[in-house]
Amino acid sequence: MAGDDTGGRLGEEFFTPGTASFTEFLVAHRPGLLPMRRPFPDGVRAAADRFPHGTTVLALAYRDGVLIAGDRRATMGNLIAQRDLEKVHPADDHTAVAFAGTVGLALDMVKLYQVELAHFEKVEGIPMTLNAKATRLADMIRQNLGQAMQGLAVVPLLAGYDPAAPAGRRGRIFGFDVAGGRYEKPDFHAEGSGSPYARGALKKLFRPGMPRREAALAALQALYDAADDDSATGGPDLSRRIFPRVSVITEDGFERLSETETEELSHEMVDQRRSRPDGPGATP
């Protein structure tokens, strides 16, 4: 590793038997490389307007698997820090993670989580089960508790396709709290400051067995409602052509909807809002 005087040779720690967890390897041998470290002395809190924060992300099950989406805005207090942030990331072929909270820590946590899953599969020869992936992510969040208590919280949202689940329920969603609590969410869930409004919209629009296009429109409608009531959530920016990120996970793996498809669906949704500003009613 960087900083070691080994003449380019691997250190003894690489040949010491251990677990298949890359995170536990770092905890034992290079804890300084972990993103989940307490950055301030006790009693010091991070100012809310000094670090970019991201919201809002959501997921919903649909006919072929699970859909996960997020707006693109990051804020620092009352300022827009970034308009095109990527909040939805593939974790492996059949799992995706999205985040709300402190952007820098969240991105580091996502990268570490991607390595964690890949490392386990290389060592064990098989991928983790979806339940194990959710538990491992909860453990990583728990390691960040010190920073969360100082104002640097990260709250991920995990979605995956589980071939071991019963047919029709293979798209699964997990939410978490800042202490690492893990909660499976049936049908749909949202995280971030705009999540109450997004969940309210999904409560109206969700129905079991939705086709992909209908599920994507429901996600966009929910993010639009979140942006309508929460200033930290960004709606579709038609002039800059910045639209929410929408991805699906099915038996075939992770797929991000193309810019063209997302733009088309966003324009369709905005056109609908011109005649009905409060959005569509509940699905019969």
Q: Which residues are catalytic?
A: 55
* Token digits of residue 7: 């003449």
What Å distances lie between residue 160 and 4, 10, 89, 128, 165, CA to CA?
38, 35, 12, 12, 11
Largest CA distance in the chain: 69
Name the residue with tokens 């800042």. Answer: 178
Using alpha carbons, select from 129, 127, 120 the residue that is nearest to residue 20: 120
Whether 141 contacts 156, CB under 8 Å: yes
Distance between CA atoms of residues 5 and 194, nearest Å: 49
What letter does residue 7 receive in the DSSP assignment? T
* Residue whose entry in the numeric block shows the structure tokens 């207090």: 77
**DSSP track, 25-94:** HHHHH-GGG-S----S-TT----TTSS-EE--EEEEEETTEEEEEE---EEETTEEEESS---EEEEETT
